[in-house]
């Protein structure tokens, strides 16, 4: 944590914590000179990431993702709906991102966080445009009934790279999702069969889908946010880094390294093509890491 002090520098006369608070930008730049960050990471490395599937027992699919201390809880609830006339053989996914006041001192009760609807929109754009989920798989009876998947993501601890953690938890929740068993009742309506009474009663009524099925996920998207400051690229910033160095770029790649989204919303710095290329390279490495973490979480789940 100690800063190597040079001559003519206030940092040699001041406590590290005081220097950090008074001159946050210089504090970070001194670290960058040493190719190190205040939490001891090299510039291009993301924080430790953990993933736990099935965190919410009452949901059809759920996951908790932690990147460093950024924590996201995602849960999916399935409901039967009538498909729209435009897409009679497709289901629907509704994604909502919540930032309750618990997650950060910047969010006040009663006043919703400004970034929450933006991240919500980016998440649904990314998940729907990536083609990860074939909406036709969510169809039950063409034109009559289809699944509506409500995905809610709660941010429990907002310590930077919110979109990355939210996307990871969303993807994990979809890979944990089990579509419940349903059957047609006498009125021709779809009813969900609860697990307790799937005895003789179920056999008479023909179930529409025989057993709990999992969605086939193809080309799963993963993302990495990088802060760009001068010539440095910092992968997976903490909220402190995000607030001090305000230019950031989020790259989303799918498992076959196709570009799903490259989002740089303004900010004080300009970005040239070579910096973007470097971010894409960092994201490629990160996609491999995240894929491994997701696969491990899934296999852990199956062992249980």
Partner 1 sequence: MDSERKGGRGANQLRPVDCSRNVLSRAHGSASCSHGETRVLAAVYGPKAGTKKNENPEKACIEITWKPKTGQIGKPEKEFEMILKRTLENICLLTVHPNTTTSIIVQVVHDDGSLLPCAIHAACAALLDAGIPLKYLAVAICCCLTESGNILLDPSKLEEQKMKAFVCLVFPSSIHSVLPEGSISIGGESKGDGIITSLTHGVMRVEDYFQCVEQGRAAITPLSNILKKKLQSQSASNLSKAG
Q: What is the DSSP letter of 207?
A: B
Quote the least distance from Cβ 255 to partner 1, whole Å: 12
Q: Which CB, 115 or 297, lies closer to partner 1?
A: 115
Q: Tokens 């006041």 appear where? A: 101
Instruction: For CA atoms 53, 192, 154, 124, give the dihedral sign.
Output: positive
Quote the least distance from Cβ 170 to partner 1, whole Å: 16
Q: Which CB, 20 or 264, lies closer to partner 1?
A: 264
Q: Which CB, 41 or 264, lies closer to partner 1?
A: 264
Q: Which CB, 78 or 279, lies closer to partner 1?
A: 279
3-state secondary structure (DSSP) of residue 54: coil
Query: Distance (Å, rounded) from C-alpha 233 to C-alpha 231?
Result: 7
Sequential DSSP letters for 93-156: EEEEEE--GGG-TTPPTTS--SHHHHHHHHHHHHHHHTT-S-GGGGEEETTTEEEEEEEEEEEE
Quote the least distance from Cβ 180 to partner 1, whole Å: 29
Q: Which CB, 124 or 198, lies closer to partner 1?
A: 124
Q: Which CB, 89 or 96, lies closer to partner 1?
A: 96
* Phi and psi, residue 199, nearest 5°: -95, -125
Count of beta carbons in the 10 Å neighbourhood of residue 150: 16
Sequential DSSP letters for 215-257: ----S-EEEEEEEEETTEEEES--HHHHHHS--EEEEEEETT-
Angle at 287 between CA 281 and CA 291, to 5 degrees: 160
Quote the least distance from Cβ 83 to partner 1, whole Å: 20
3-state secondary structure (DSSP) of residue 265: coil
Which residues contact partner 1 by CB under 8 A?
106, 114-115, 117-118, 120-122, 125, 129-131, 219, 249, 254, 257-273, 276-277, 280
Quote the least distance from Cβ 143 to partner 1, whole Å: 23
Quote the least distance from Cβ 111 to partner 1, whole Å: 9
């Amino acid at each position: 944590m100690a800063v190597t002090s040079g001559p003519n520098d206030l940092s040699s006369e001041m406590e590290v914590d005081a220097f950090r608070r008074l001159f946050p930008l210089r504090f970070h730049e001194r670290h960058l000179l040493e190719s190190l960050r205040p939490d001891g990471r090299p510039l291009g490395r993301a924080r430790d990431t953990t993933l736990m599937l099935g965190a919410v027992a009452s949901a059809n699919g759920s996951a908790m993702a932690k990147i460093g201390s950024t924590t996201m809880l995602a849960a999916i609830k399935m409901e039967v709906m009538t498909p729209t006339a435009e897409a009679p053989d497709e289901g629907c996914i509704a994604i909502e991102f919540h930032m309750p006041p618990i997650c950060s001192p910047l969010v006040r009760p009663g006043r919703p966080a400004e970034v929450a609807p933006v991240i919500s929109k980016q998440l649904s754009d990314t998940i729907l445009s990536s083609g990860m989920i074939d909406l036709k798989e969510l169809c039950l009876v063409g034109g009559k009934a289809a699944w509506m998947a409500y995905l809610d993501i709660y941010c429990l601890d907002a310590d930077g790279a919110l979109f990355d953690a939210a996307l990871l938890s969303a993807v994990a929740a979809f890979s944990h999702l089990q579509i419940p068993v349903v059957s047609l009742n006498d009125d021709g309506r779809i009813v969900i069969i609860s697990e307790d009474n799937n005895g003789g009663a179920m056999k008479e009524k023909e179930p529409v889908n025989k057993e709990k099925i999992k969605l086939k996920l193809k080309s799963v998207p993963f993302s990495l946010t990088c802060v760009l400051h001068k010539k440095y690229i910092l992968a997976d910033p903490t909220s402190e880094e995000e607030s001090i160095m305000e230019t950031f770029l989020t790259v989303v790649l799918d498992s076959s390294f196709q570009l799903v989204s490259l989002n740089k919303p303004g900010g004080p710095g300009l970005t040239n093509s070579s910096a973007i290329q470097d971010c894409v390279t960092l994201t490629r490495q990160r996609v491999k890491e995240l894929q491994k973490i997701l696969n491990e979480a899934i296999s852990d789940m199956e062992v249980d």
